């Protein structure tokens, strides 16, 4: 059956032929007649071409590609959820190993899963898809274990230093830390591992831009971001912090049986910090290919720390001296509650600092991992107080820290977890720190021990860690397994 478009073309050709026969020799025609014929021909060509394009626009996808017509655009394939796919498109442009062409041919198994997931859902569930996207990207990054700049600075060895930085989302503080690390002597011999509890491309790109040493990124997989409405995040069925146990039992909230020693219930924004610290330590010593046989020191920093340029030099001096003292298990690059002293002086103490804490695999295995149960069940959401508790209560003999009196790691976070400072003037704090560093006698040639404090510090539980689920998750993270199923 002839279509209407076909009939239109047929009659147009007949009329044009009749006109030409009547005119005979076109050379004998006037200018006006020639112009009419010319425009008739142009109109015929236009109609023919438009109909051809319209016909091909309805051609099946596989026939369009065979006949050389462009395939459907990425936007027409994926319309929902909009927010997830906008992020996915940016990721495609950002990732060098993703190919062009068929959107499903992304070059990685994870990205294929993401695209199929987004195609199968609508905007109503986009928040859930966003979480799944992040989980998949975290899984991919933790599996790949990419070390940037290793081709320039060489592989890690036991004479190197591993610096393990806990990162949340305060990019301005993190930038200051990176700037201070870049100025440090011997930093080119270190591997810096940034451990994140937030997956955010802006932060990831900041880390990838580092060129002064080897860099790796790992991602805490049991964060609030990846579990926004279930444990270890805040489950909607959990008890409110201040409800009290009696009322909690009456309403039947999920963790009614497990308040802390102050009758308060868990707050995920605080419990996450201790979980993250414990996970990253175990992950580095047990699971990372680059470090699971490394026996040197691991230095623990946080995103709102700032280092003096000779901190690695001091760590080396302290490490050599610590090896001569059997009770010395930890190094500390500062203690902000201690009165400052000369640049090369240190003390031996049973108290362990959270400012530039460092220890090696032997200490991890003998003094920490063996005491995992005590750490994970100690009712304190602070990792540093929990660590001090186990090193004083678990195992045999005192476990001492060598701590510098003139600190080389400084805390610049004015708006941190425990701070109530409304000004948050990091510039003012940073200026003070830089002035203090200038006053130090940098690069001393030796470490002088001035005193040894072996009296056991008074240990108290600060609460926030009474929930049995936190205890169980913490213990599971001690084992040498990359993924944990959370029931």
Q: What is the mean pLDDT of the chain?
A: 81
Is 197 annotated in some ligand binding site? yes
What is the distance between the alpha carbons of residues 110 and 88, in angstroms, rounded to a whole number? 11
pLDDT digits (tens, 9 = 90+) for 143-191: 999 999 999 999 999 999 999 999 999 999 999 999 999 999 999 999 9
Is 145 annotated in some ligand binding site? no
What is the distance between the alpha carbons of residues 476 and 420, in angstroms, rounded to a whole number? 34
pLDDT digits (tens, 9 = 90+) for 397-431: 889 999 999 999 999 997 655 455 556 788 899 99
Q: 348: which 2 tokens?
A: 């031996």
Does the structure show a pLDDT above 50 at 97?
no
pLDDT digits (tens, 9 = 90+) for 191-211: 999 999 999 999 999 999 999
Determine the CATH number of domain 164-476: 3.90.550.10
Tell me the residue length of the chain: 487
Q: Which pLDDT score, from 0 to 100, does residue 395 have?
A: 82
Q: Which pLDDT score, from 0 to 100, does residue 124 have?
A: 40
Q: Which pLDDT score, from 0 to 100, does residue 219 have?
A: 98
CA pseudo-torsion sign 224, 227, 231, 235: positive
What is the distance between the alpha carbons of residues 27 and 110, in angstroms, rounded to a whole number? 70
pTM of the model: 0.75
Is 272 annotated in some ligand binding site? yes
Is 179 annotated in some ligand binding site? no
Is 411 annotated in some ligand binding site? yes
The CA-based dihedral angle spanning residues 17, 23, 27, 29, taken in that order and rounded to the nearest 10 degrees: -130
pLDDT digits (tens, 9 = 90+) for 301-337: 999 999 999 999 999 999 999 999 999 999 999 988 7
Q: Which pLDDT score, from 0 to 100, does residue 109 have?
A: 58
Is 166 annotated in some ligand binding site? yes
Higher pLDDT, 338 or 391: 391
Of all residues in the chain, what percent carry a pLDDT higher than 70?
Answer: 70
The burial class, CB within 10 Å (0-12 / 13-18 / 19+), for 330 is buried
On whether the CB atoms of residues 44 and 52 are closer than 8 A, the answer is no
Is 175 annotated in some ligand binding site? no
CB atoms within 10 A of CB 462: 16
Is 274 annotated in some ligand binding site? yes
Q: What share of the chain is helix, strand, coil (3-state, %, to 5)?
A: 45, 10, 40
Locate the domains of the chain by residue range: 4-66, 74-143, 164-476
What is the distance between the alpha carbons of residues 28 and 484, in angstroms, rounded to a whole number? 92
Does the structure show a pLDDT above 90 at 278?
yes
Is 124 annotated in some ligand binding site? no
Is 183 annotated in some ligand binding site? no
Q: Which pLDDT score, from 0 to 100, does residue 392 have?
A: 86
């Amino acid at each position: 059956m002839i279509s209407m478009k076909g009939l239109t073309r047929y009659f147009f050709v007949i009329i044009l032929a009749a006109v030409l026969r009547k005119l005979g020799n076109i050379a004998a025609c006037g200018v006006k007649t020639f112009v009419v014929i010319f425009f008739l021909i142009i109109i015929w060509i236009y109609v023919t071409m438009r109909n051809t394009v319209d016909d091909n626009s309805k051609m099946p996808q596989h026939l369009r590609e065979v006949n050389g017509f462009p395939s459907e655009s990425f936007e027409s394939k994926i319309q929902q959820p909009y927010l997830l796919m906008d992020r996915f498109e940016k990721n495609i442009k950002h990732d060098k190993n993703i190919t062009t062409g068929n959107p499903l041919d992304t070059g990685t198994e994870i990205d294929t899963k993401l695209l199929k997931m987004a195609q199968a859902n609508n905007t109503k569930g986009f928040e859930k898809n966003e979480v799944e996207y992040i989980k998949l990207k975290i899984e991919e990054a933790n599996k790949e274990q990419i070390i940037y700049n290793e081709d320039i600075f060489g592989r890690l060895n036991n004479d190197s230093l591993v610096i393990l930085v806990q990162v949340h989302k305060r990019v301005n503080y993190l930038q200051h830390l990176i700037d201070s690390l870049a100025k440090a002597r011997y930093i080119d011999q270190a591997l810096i591992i940034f451990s994140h509890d937030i997956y955010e491309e802006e932060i990831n790109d900041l880390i990838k831009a580092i060129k002064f040493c080897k860099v790796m990124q790992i991602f805490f997989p049991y964060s609030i971001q990846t579990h926004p409405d279930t444990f270890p995040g805040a489950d909607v069925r959990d008890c409110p912090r201040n409800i009290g146990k009696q009322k909690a039992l009456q309403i039947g909230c999920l963790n009614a049986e497990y308040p802390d020693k102050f009758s308060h219930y868990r707050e995920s924004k605080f419990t996450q910090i201790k979980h993250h610290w414990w996970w990253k330590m175990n992950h580095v010593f047990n699971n990372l290919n680059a470090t699971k046989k490394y026996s040197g020191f691991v230095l623990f920093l946080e995103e709102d720390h700032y280092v003096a340029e000779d901190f690695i030099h001091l760590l080396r001096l302290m490490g050599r001296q610590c090896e001569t003292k059997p009770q010395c298990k930890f190094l500390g690059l500062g203690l902000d509650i201690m009165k400052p002293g000369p640049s090369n002086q240190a003390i031996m103490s049973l108290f362990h600092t959270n400012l530039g804490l460092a220890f090696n695999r032997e200490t991890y295995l003998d003094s920490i991992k063996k005491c995992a149960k005590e750490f994970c069940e100690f009712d304190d959401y602070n990792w540093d107080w929990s660590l001090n508790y186990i090193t004083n209560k678990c195992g045999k003999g005192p476990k001492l820290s060598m701590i510098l009196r003139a600190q080389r790691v400084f805390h610049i976070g004015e708006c941190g977890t425990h701070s109530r400072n409304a000004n948050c003037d990091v510039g003012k704090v940073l200026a003070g720190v830089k002035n203090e560093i200038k006053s130090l006698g940098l690069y001393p040639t030796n470490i002088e021990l001035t005193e040894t404090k072996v009296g056991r510090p008074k240990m108290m539980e600060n609460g926030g860690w009474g929930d049995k689920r936190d205890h169980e998750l913490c213990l599971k993270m001690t084992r040498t397994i990359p993924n944990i199923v959370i029931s």
